[in-house]
Amino acid sequence: MRRGMRAWALGGVIAAACLAVAVAAFGTIKPGLEAPALSLRDMSGKRYDLSPSKRRPMTVLYFFDADSRPSLEGLLTLNRVAKRSKAGVLTVWAITASAKEKASGFARTAGVVFPVLIDEGGRVSEAYRAVQVLPSVCVVGPGGKVLDSFQGGGKATEAMLVRVAERSLQRRETALASAIGDEVLKKDPGNAKARAVKGYAALRRKNLKEAESVFAGLAKQGGEAEVLGKEGLATAYARDKQPGKALALATEVESLAPGRGYASVVKGDILYAQDRKKEAEAEYVKASSRTEGEPYQQAVRYNQLGRFYSSSARYGKARELFDKAVEIDPYYIEGTTNKGVALEKEGKWDQALASYRSALAANPGDAFAAALARRAEEMVALSKDAGRKERMNRLVKELVDRFRAQKSEGVKKGDEWTSGPTVLTFVDFREKGGLAERDGFSTVLLTRLSENLNASGRVKIVERALVERVLDELNLGSSKLADPDTALKLGKLFAARLIGTGSLLNLPESSVLSMRVIDTETSGIVQTEIRTLDPGGNVDEELFRIDRDILHMVMEKYPLRGFVAGVEGEDVLLNLGAKQGVVKGTRFDVLEEGAGIVYKGKKLAAAPKAVARMEVLSVEPEFSRAKVIRKDRPLKLDDKVQERAN
């Protein structure tokens, strides 16, 4: 018992010493430092620990006193916002050293929807310096780092709410940002920063008219509101394809507030899209040297200059700028993925993969980073597989030599009727127009298109790693790939019947994909796709439509053909399997030559007619089994079959 008492006492001394060190080390809780440890129970006894929440994008720790009116007013405001938000979007933990009964009584009466944690003894409150002045708020971001801290009610609470709204805007949570802005404006209609948040939230939702209305209202006021309004209007006009108005307003903002950098970003983007690259670079450099601006604008100052440097192969400088962008905005995964793309271009695939995984840790649902990560994983695996790497090197050398000698090999067939696999290859889309905020969009599109088509089983896609190695060896950049003759030669080189090529036009609000699918034997364009895509959104739906269109075209224009290799009742064996692109559910018609007619001594052939139909039930690599679902006559060995487009 005494040994247990001594251990308990020693533990208490150690805990007190650690707490004293934590308090001394942190002083006031400053942004950029790691948040102190926190492990508390709510009113029902459930434990909440800050360590696991390091995986959360943002946690608002609201320290309050149950007897303090300012404390409770701020808490009720956050509660109203939380009620209007989607589940999981806003994480708030209310923490109090007040008596449990008093805190629980208030929470029940007010209908508080987030956990109220009881800090018995006030040790956590002391660690967060939330004792003398309440409410105190600490906003914890990715990795458990402190983003912001505030003390006091009234204007301090208002400033805290605006900052949470701005952080929500950085996280692309536009509905939450707008809702918090509304709450602030109810009490303070003249709060320019809250109104600006609503304007930029409308811009993120692509509601340009609403954004222009908000910013125009601000621009009519003086001081800070006028600057915010004209800066926002310049952004809105640029995205609304009114570059003249945007440039004029951006220049006006520079004269009103020379320390702000975002207006130079707006000018740089417009000049870049107008192919005035030197002038654009000067504006991006200017933007990176100016420090004033809103939190959700700061990272892009460094990012766009980094994108410019990366586009001109100055990768080291670019990576430094991307790091700066993420350092000041931990939610800015654009900078993290852009750094990865720059590392790719340097051939540093393992480091590129680490960047993509960092982006996914910050936002697990980012399809852009996920596609880039899968591609990087493939390249890293290739570099570590000595046997595969050697085979790839031999194949690349052979293909490069063949291309330079202007030779290609066609698809070898066993007979004139039986199909081989339908092989398709993509070459990189040429990017044009403005300097997109995210690099690698064409790579993401090609990766996703290839993955979806490969998954269908019907089309075989030439391995991207092989295509890229050959293009690198041949030094074929995007401008050379835009030449139709070069693209056709590449398609034939890879024994592909079809080749997908085209361009990606980057506009202020979106990107326009213009893609052509070309038959390498006839040189004819067999399909054209023009789609408007949002690099910042989920493009999978549009890509699914493109893949579906390509598959439908392939089945109609390049149907699988083969023979009946065996018949047993209603069960049929076909000489086509997975290697040719047969999948479960594929339907085939059994064809019979038409009788034709004789006209003026010349026999005119008739189109073959379908005398039976079947559906594939199981597939092996080189054959498949089907069930007859309709027939006009009994089937026999060597009957011709042809795929029917579903």
Q: Is it true that the peptide bond before 364 is cis, omega within 30 degrees of 0? A: no
Q: Using one digit for the tens of pLDDT, what is the confidence trace for 411-455?
A: 454 578 999 999 999 887 888 999 999 999 998 998 899 999 999
**Cα distance between residue 148 and residue 493, in whole Å:** 57
Q: Please determine, for residue 383, whether its predicted confidence score (pLDDT) is greater than 70.
A: yes
Q: Using one digit for the tens of pLDDT, what is the confidence trace for 159-185?
A: 999 999 999 999 989 999 999 999 999
Q: Using one digit for the tens of pLDDT, what is the confidence trace for 451-494?
A: 999 999 999 998 878 887 887 888 876 666 667 777 778 778 88
**Model pLDDT, residue 22:** 36
Which of the listed ranges 82-86, 340-344, 415-419 does the model predict with the highest average pLDDT? 340-344
Q: Please determine, for residue 279, whether its predicted confidence score (pLDDT) is greater than 60.
A: yes
Spatial CA neighbour of 516 closest among 508, 505, 531, 526? 526
Q: How many residues does the chain have?
A: 646
Q: Please determine, for residue 2, whether its predicted confidence score (pLDDT) is greater than 80.
A: no
Average of per-residue pLDDT across 581-600: 88
**Cα distance between residue 326 and residue 301, in whole Å:** 11
Q: For the chain, give the percent of residues with pLDDT over 90.
A: 68
**Model pLDDT, residue 160:** 94
**Model pLDDT, residue 510:** 87
Helix (H, G, I), strand (E, B) or coil at 508: coil
Q: Using one digit for the tens of pLDDT, what is the confidence trace for 345-382?
A: 999 999 999 999 999 988 888 889 999 999 999 889 98
pLDDT band at 157 (very low <50, low <70, confident <90, very high): very high
**Model pLDDT, residue 479:** 63
pTM recorded for the entire structure: 0.83
Count of CB atoms within 10 A of residue 86's CB? 9
Worst-scoring range by mean pLDDT, 94-108, 227-241, 475-489, 562-576? 475-489
**Cα distance between residue 257 and residue 34, in whole Å:** 34
Average of per-residue pLDDT across 540-551: 91
Q: Could you tell me how many helices (H) and strands (E) the chain has, helices first?
A: 23, 21
DSSP, residue by residue, 142-204: GGGBEEEEEE-STHHHHHHHHHHHHHHHHTT-HHHHHHHHHHHHHH-TT-HHHHHHHHHHHHH
Q: Please determine, for residue 635, whether its predicted confidence score (pLDDT) is greater than 50.
A: yes
Q: Please determine, for residue 301, whether its predicted confidence score (pLDDT) is greater than 50.
A: yes
DSSP, residue by residue, 459-504: EEEPPHHHHHHHHHHHT--HHHHTSHHHHHHHHHHTT-SEEEEEEE
**Cα distance between residue 497 and residue 550, in whole Å:** 13
Q: Using one digit for the tens of pLDDT, what is the confidence trace for 111-135?
A: 999 999 999 999 999 999 999 899 9
Q: Please determine, for residue 79, whether its predicted confidence score (pLDDT) is greater than 90.
A: yes
Beta bridge partners of 292: 260
Hey, which CATH number is domain 26-366, 3.40.30.10, 3.40.640.10, 3.40.630.30, 3.40.190.10? 3.40.30.10
Mean pLDDT for the chain overall: 88
Average of per-residue pLDDT across 507-527: 90
What CATH number does the domain located at 561-644 have?
Answer: 2.40.10.410
Q: Per-domain residue ranges for the chain?
A: 26-366, 387-557, 561-644
pLDDT band at 8 (very low <50, low <70, confident <90, very high): very low
Average of per-residue pLDDT across 543-572: 94
Q: Scanning the structure block, which residue is given the tokens 């590392």?
A: 343
Beta bridge partners of 138: 61, 149
**Cα distance between residue 311 and residue 572, in whole Å:** 57
Give CA separation, 480 vs 358, 406, 498, in Å: 34, 16, 19
Q: Using one digit for the tens of pLDDT, what is the confidence trace for 492-505?
A: 888 889 999 889 99
pLDDT band at 593 (very low <50, low <70, confident <90, very high): confident
**Cα distance between residue 44 and residue 527, in whole Å:** 63
What 3 state SS string does 56-74 have? Answer: CCCEEEEEECCCCHHHHHH
Fold of 387-557: Rossmann fold (3.40.50)
Q: Which two tokens stand for residue 632?
A: 């006009």
Q: Scanning the structure block, which residue is given the tokens 């420090």?
A: 291
Show the DSSP H helices in 385-456 as ranges. 386-404, 441-456
Cβ-based neighbours of 359, under 8 Å, separated by 6 or more: 333, 336, 337, 340, 366, 369
CA atoms within 13 A on the CB side of 177: 25
Q: Using one digit for the tens of pLDDT, what is the confidence trace for 51-65?
A: 866 667 899 999 999
pLDDT band at 408 (very low <50, low <70, confident <90, very high): low
Same CATH topology for 26-366 and 561-644: the answer is no
Q: Which two tokens stand for residue 534?
A: 């949002």
